[in-house]
């Protein structure tokens, strides 16, 4: 066990060692116990969707090449891929639906603790959705917007309204290919139907539906989640926060919110500022109530309130092992069951709050929107009461400043100012070559890889090449932990062109755009870049790419597929995609699909090679746009770059 192999984050290394010394298991240990993992599964060639199986295809062509029903490797791999995408879509979109329900309840006055905060965004959304705004109250408008949004998940006919935000030529491609997304529920249901035994057995047709269901997420469920959260909790604007386990305080009551839906974390954040509760915390000898987040809910809180982030996916168990956490409240997605065992070793109270996500043996407090703040206060009080039970603590010092809060609106505002908010300066700087292109670095952390290493190395390599990086999800936190969201650290690492633009505008070269549902902010931004003009007619013309070299969840595959279906190059680490067991599926995903949809997949696990691959792709797109200058491009090293700066 070498902590440095397990994580590139110093605080995590310290806690991994500490857990090993204390004899407490974590995900890395459990991964070791799982070795060797199933090679068939890794290649995507095992099928257990009917009870004639489970079947598996021999990858060396010596054993069985067909399942009992006759399905070949292409069908099996494609079906598994579609099921992964559909599962990912269902996660984001169920999150989106919950937000829509709370939004509607808030507008109706049935969820008294939630109030619409960003009315400007409400009016814009209303206009977009054709809701009358004249002489109506915000709540009346909100009710109509909420109803329309909620219907998007299950409406019996028509296609996703958010898809109308895409450039017209993109919409035409979707129409021609027959992948314009209908209701989210319908696309997910159809995915399960088509991938069941004896239904769709043409791998290209199966992957086509993977595009359609993924688009229902990116230009549907997840986009609505972001939009409605912004209206309800406020659209993020840049602000400073702190990231890493050093944000845990030894003198305060520490509460960790972990999961995805800001419905819970917003209320706990509010409750932690309650005067009465603060007084109670003082009474038990604490100097305050410290709320910090892990995983995507952490991104939501940092983006909107500057609330600190304790870590990303693989930090969740480590955080508890500090012994300083009075309470961890979790909702949905990416919650390891292993938390329950770790929490048992300390005084930490682990509490589940979403009725659809309980853990056996763990206390459950149901979070109901009609009494959300009261429930949150109850949780905070539980944490305060638990402070006295704290034993010895071990808190790493490591933390970094980070600037978060780069929503679509705030980027537009930063670039152009309130009165002429516009993407023009960005387009101009891409055209003149100071910025070569834009890349979304997204994804999770995974114990199979050295935590955070690929995200951060790749990000450094990209900004060095004058490529603007937008991050979401746990990749954001990875970058944040290593200072990349801190302009004073990351500007030094950026190429001269990118650096100049970022300094002029006052933004870091790595923009933290939020949680995983907020990948849709990137889609909206790219559509705006097309609309602004000078960089082609369609998303597929843009010098952009998406990349995810470390991830765990099916959600990441769904995100990848909606970026591909939106016209982008998407690079994943090989192991994550689990499609290598079919040559035909690979050939289609890595090449053929580009003819149909303009985007394609690529696999590369090495961050340096991935940066090279992406850079080449971006330059190719620039060539095609005719915006590449004649003079030879040059990669500056540190010394040369310093000499450029006066
Ligand atoms: Fe989960 Fe969202 Fe992945 Fe992190 S990035 S491990 S999905 S928390 Ni979304
Ligand atoms: Fe086997 Fe076919 Fe059933 Fe899959 S669907 S388990 S390949 S028989």
pLDDT tens string 217-255:
999 999 999 999 999 999 999 999 999 999 999 999 999
pLDDT tens digit sequence for 557-583: 999 999 999 999 999 998 889 999 999
Share of the chain above pLDDT 90, in %: 94
For residue 519, how many C-alpha atoms fall within 13 Å in the half-sphere facing its CB? Answer: 35
On whether the CB atoms of residues 196 and 94 are closer than 8 A, the answer is: no
CA 478 to chain centre: 12
Span from the CA of 73 to the centroid of ligand 2 (angstroms): 11
- Taking CA atoms only, the protein residue closest to ligand 2 atom 3 is 50
CB under 6 Å to ligand 2: residues? 47-50, 52-55, 67-69, 71, 76, 197
* Upstream peptide bond of 36 is cis (omega within 30 degrees of 0): yes
Q: Is the pLDDT of residue 28 over 60?
A: yes
Helix (H, G, I), strand (E, B) or coil at 418: coil
- Taking CA atoms only, the protein residue closest to ligand 2 atom 7 is 67
Q: Which ligand is nearest to the CA of 70?
A: 2
**DSSP letter, residue 259:** S
Q: What mean pLDDT is predicted for residues 411-437?
A: 90
Q: What mean pLDDT is predicted for residues 363-387?
A: 96
- Taking CA atoms only, the protein residue closest to ligand 2 atom 4 is 47
pLDDT of residue 332: 97
pLDDT of residue 96: 97
pLDDT of residue 631: 54
pLDDT of residue 646: 41
Please name the residues in contact with 397: beta carbons below 8 A apart, sequence gap of 6 or more. Answer: 11, 246
Q: Is the pLDDT of residue 643 over 70?
A: no
pLDDT tens digit sequence for 486-500: 999 999 999 999 999
pLDDT tens digit sequence for 256-274: 999 999 999 999 999 999 9
Buried-state track 133-162, b at ≥16 Cβ within 10 A, e below 16: beeeebeebbbbbbbbbbebbebeeebbbb
pTM: predicted TM-score of the whole model, two decimal places = 0.95
Q: Which atom of ligand 1 is nearest to the CA of 556?
A: 7
Q: What mean pLDDT is predicted for residues 593-599?
A: 98
Sign of CA dihedral 617, 579, 586, 215: negative
Q: What mean pLDDT is predicted for residues 21-27?
A: 98
Q: What mean pLDDT is predicted for residues 503-530?
A: 96
Continuous segment of H or E residues that includes residue 376? helix 372-386
Span from the CA of 188 to the centroid of ligand 2 (angstroms): 21
Q: Is the pLDDT of residue 638 over 80?
A: no
How many angstroms separate the CA atoms of 500 and 279, rounded?
48
How many angstroms separate the CA atoms of 571 and 618, rounded?
13
On whether the CB atoms of residues 256 and 310 are closer than 8 A, the answer is: yes
Q: Can you say whether residue 553 is alpha, beta or left, with left for phi > 0 and alpha for psi between -120 and 50 degrees?
A: beta
Helix (H, G, I), strand (E, B) or coil at 195: coil
Strand partners, 350: 328
**DSSP letter, residue 37:** P
**DSSP letter, residue 219:** I
How many angstroms separate the CA atoms of 413 and 361, rounded?
48
For 490-549, give the DSSP string.
HHHHS-HHHHHHHHHHT--SEEE--SSTTHHHHHHHHHHHHHHSSS-SSGGGSSEEEEES
Span from the CA of 474 to the centroid of ligand 1 (angstroms): 5
- Taking CA atoms only, the protein residue closest to ligand 1 atom 6 is 444
How many angstroms separate the CA atoms of 637 and 104, rounded?
53
How many angstroms separate the CA atoms of 532 and 538, rounded?
12
Ligand 1: residue of 317, 338, 449, 473 to mutate (most ligand atoms within 8 A of CB) is 473
Residue 479 backbone phi and psi in degrees, to 5: -65, -40
pLDDT of residue 420: 79
How many angstroms separate the CA atoms of 641 and 646, rounded?
10
| pLDDT bucket at 375, cuts 50 / 70 / 90 | very high
pLDDT of residue 301: 94
| pLDDT bucket at 86, cuts 50 / 70 / 90 | very high
Q: Is the pLDDT of residue 185 over 80?
A: yes
Span from the CA of 478 to the centroid of ligand 1 (angstroms): 11
Tabulate helix, strand, coil % of the chain (nearest 5): 55, 10, 35
CB under 6 Å to ligand 1: residues? 260, 295-296, 312-313, 333-334, 443-444, 473-474, 515-516, 551-553, 555
Beta strands across the sheet bearing 289-294: 363-364, 349-352, 327-330, 253-258, 289-294, 309-311, 239-243, 400-404
pLDDT of residue 635: 66
What is the pLDDT of the chain when averaged over all its residues? 96
Residue 422 backbone phi and psi in degrees, to 5: -165, 155
Among 400, 308, 11, CA closest to 19: 11
For 171-194, give the DSSP string.
HHHHHHHT-----HHHHHHHHHHH
pLDDT tens digit sequence for 280-289: 999 999 999 9
pLDDT of residue 1: 86
Among 501, 467, 465, 502, CA closest to 635: 465
Sign of CA dihedral 137, 140, 146, 151: negative
Q: Is the pLDDT of residue 633 over 70?
A: no
pLDDT tens digit sequence for 446-485: 999 999 999 999 999 999 999 999 999 999 999 999 999 9
Span from the CA of 239 to the centroid of ligand 1 (angstroms): 22
Q: Which ligand is nearest to the CA of 51?
A: 2
How many angstroms separate the CA atoms of 162 and 180, rounded?
11
How many angstroms separate the CA atoms of 177 and 171, rounded?
10
Alpha helix (H) residue ranges in 238-283: 262-271, 275-283
How many angstroms separate the CA atoms of 209 and 86, rounded?
9
Span from the CA of 198 to the centroid of ligand 2 (angstroms): 8
pLDDT of residue 417: 72
Span from the CA of 70 to the centroid of ligand 2 (angstroms): 8
Q: Is the pLDDT of residue 111 over 60?
A: yes
Q: Is the pLDDT of residue 644 over 70?
A: no
How many angstroms separate the CA atoms of 349 and 329, rounded?
8
């Amino acid at each position: 066990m070498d902590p440095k192999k397990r994580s590139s984050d110093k605080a995590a290394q310290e806690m991994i060692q500490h857990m090993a010394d204390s004899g407490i298991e974590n995900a890395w240990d459990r991964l070791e116990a799982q070795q060797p993992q199933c090679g068939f599964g890794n290649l995507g060639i095992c099928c257990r969707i009917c009870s004639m199986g489970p079947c598996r295809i021999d990858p060396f062509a010596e054993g069985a090449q067909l399942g009992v029903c006759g399905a070949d490797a292409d069908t099996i791999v494609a079906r598994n891929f579609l099921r992964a995408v559909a599962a990912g879509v269902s996660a984001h979109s169920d999150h989106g639906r919950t937000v829509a329900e709370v939004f509607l309840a808030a507008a109706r006055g049935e969820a008294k603790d939630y109030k619409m905060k960003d009315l400007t965004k409400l009016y814009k959304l209303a206009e977009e959705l054709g809701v009358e705004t004249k002489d109506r109250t915000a709540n009346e408008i909100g009710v109509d917007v909420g109803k329309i949004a909620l219907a998007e998940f299950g409406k019996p006919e028509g296609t996703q309204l958010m898809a109308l935000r895409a450039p017209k030529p993109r919409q035409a491609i979707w129409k021609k290919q027959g992948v314009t997304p209908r209701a989210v529920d319908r696309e997910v249901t159809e995915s399960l139907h088509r991938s069941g035994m004896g239904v769709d057995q043409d791998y290209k047709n199966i992957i086509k539906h993977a595009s359609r269901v993924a688009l229902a997420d990116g230009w549907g469920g997840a986009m609505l989640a972001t939009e409605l959260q912004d209206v309800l909790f406020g659209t993020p604007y840049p602000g400073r926060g702190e990231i890493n386990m050093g944000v845990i305080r030894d003198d305060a009551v520490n509460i960790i919110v972990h999961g995805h839906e800001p419905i819970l974390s917003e209320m706990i954040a509010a409750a932690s500022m309650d005067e009465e509760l603060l007084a109670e915390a003082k009474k038990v000898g604490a100097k305050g109530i410290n709320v910090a987040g892990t995983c995507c809910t952490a991104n939501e809180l940092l983006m909107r309130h500057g609330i600190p982030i304790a870590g990303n996916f693989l930090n969740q168990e480590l955080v508890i092992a500090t012994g300083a956490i009075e309470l961890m409240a979790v909702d949905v997605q990416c919650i390891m069951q292993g938390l329950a065992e770790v929490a048992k070793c300390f005084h930490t109270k682990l509490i589940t709050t979403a009725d659809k996500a309980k853990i056996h043996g763990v206390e459950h407090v149901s979070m109901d929107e009609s009494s959300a703040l009261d429930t949150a206060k109850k949780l905070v009080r539980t944490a305060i009461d638990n402070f006295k039970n704290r034993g010895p603590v071990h808190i790493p010092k490591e933390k970094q400043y980070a600037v978060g809060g780069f929503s679509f609106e705030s980027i537009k505002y930063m670039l152009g100012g309130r009165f002429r908010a516009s993407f023009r300066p960005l387009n101009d700087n891409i055209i003149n070559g100071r910025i070569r292109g834009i890349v979304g670095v997204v994804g999770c952390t995974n114990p199979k890889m050295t935590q955070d290493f690929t995200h951060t190395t790749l990000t450094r390599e990209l900004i060095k090449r004058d490529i603007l990086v937008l991050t979401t999800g746990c990749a954001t936190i990875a970058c944040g932990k290593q200072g990349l969201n801190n302009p004073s650290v990351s500007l030094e690492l950026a190429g001269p062109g990118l650096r100049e633009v970022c300094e002029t505008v006052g933004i870091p070269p790595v923009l933290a755009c939020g949680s995983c549902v907020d990948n849709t902010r990137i889609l909206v931004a790219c559509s705006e870049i097309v609309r602004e003009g000078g960089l082609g007619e369609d998303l597929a013309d843009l010098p952009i790419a998406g990349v995810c070299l470390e991830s765990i969840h099916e959600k990441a595959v769904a995100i990848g597929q909606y970026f591909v279906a939106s016209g982008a190059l998407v690079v994943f680490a090989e192991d994550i995609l689990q499609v290598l067991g079919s040559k035909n599926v690979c050939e289609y995903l890595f090449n053929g699909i580009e003819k149909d949809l303009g985007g394609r997949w690529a696999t590369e696990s090495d961050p340096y090679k991935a940066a090279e691959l992406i850079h080449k792709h971006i330059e190719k797109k620039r060539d095609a746009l005719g915006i590449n200058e004649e003079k030879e491009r040059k990669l500056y090293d540190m010394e040369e770059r310093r000499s450029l700066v006066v």
